[in-house]
Amino acid sequence: MQKKETGIFSGSFNPLHAGHLILANYLCEYTSLDEVWFVVTPHNPLKKAGMLLDDTLRLEMVRLALEDYDRMIVSDVEFHMPRPSYTIDTLTRLSGAHPDRNFTLIIGGDNWARFDQWKEYQQLMKRYSILVYPRMGEEVVIPPQQRETIQLVHAPVVEISSTFIRSGIRAGKDLRAFLPAKVYDLIKKKGLYL
């Protein structure tokens, strides 16, 4: 039986926004991926914990956002792992739990630029394929010897950030076009990010 090609898109998703969905949609339709799993990260070791909304609320937002998409799945695998979560540990756990899948790591050009700071980054490159999506102002250079397993995908560059969303909400802006409708409704209902 052929293994399912599964992309792993990790993030704090604080909150998940239209840019995340556009990228995942593109990857499902224009690459060899069968699915994209959104791995909600309790705390990214390279980020400050300060403005991070409660883990379960962020997970709920992602669940709501993906309800209508068959090929986009939410994963809380890192909620059941030691913290902070490292990508190599997450992918090792997922590979063990799902031998029927090939996992591919999805990262932005900004993360690719500092990939050598990641825990066991050489093991990651050896054991998993990596799809790098473009970010504004980041030139992505993939050495020729790595191009078989590491690829730049020419996804549309959508410059929406969760930081922009949070500060806009705090400033009283109507940002419903930037967020999935169910996520926007939850944020309004619970008064999040104010």
Per-state percent for the chain, helix, strand, coil, to nearest 5 = 40, 20, 40
This prediction's pTM? 0.94
Of the CA atoms within 13 Å of residue 125, those in its CB half-sphere come to 17
Q: Helix (H, G, I), strand (E, B), or coil: what is residue 118?
A: coil
Structurally, at CATH architecture level, domain 4-190 sits in 3-Layer(aba) Sandwich (3.40)
Going by C-alpha positions, the residue among 118, 101, 163 that lies closest to residue 10 is 118
Structure tokens of 96? 């063990």
Report the alpha-carbon distance of residue 112 to residue 155 in Å, rounded. 15
Going by C-alpha positions, the residue among 41, 6, 13 that lies closest to residue 27 is 6
Query: Which residue has tokens 């052929």?
Result: 2
Before 84, cis peptide (omega within 30)? yes
Structure tokens of 20? 């995340």
Which parts of the chain sit beneath pLDDT 50? Answer: none
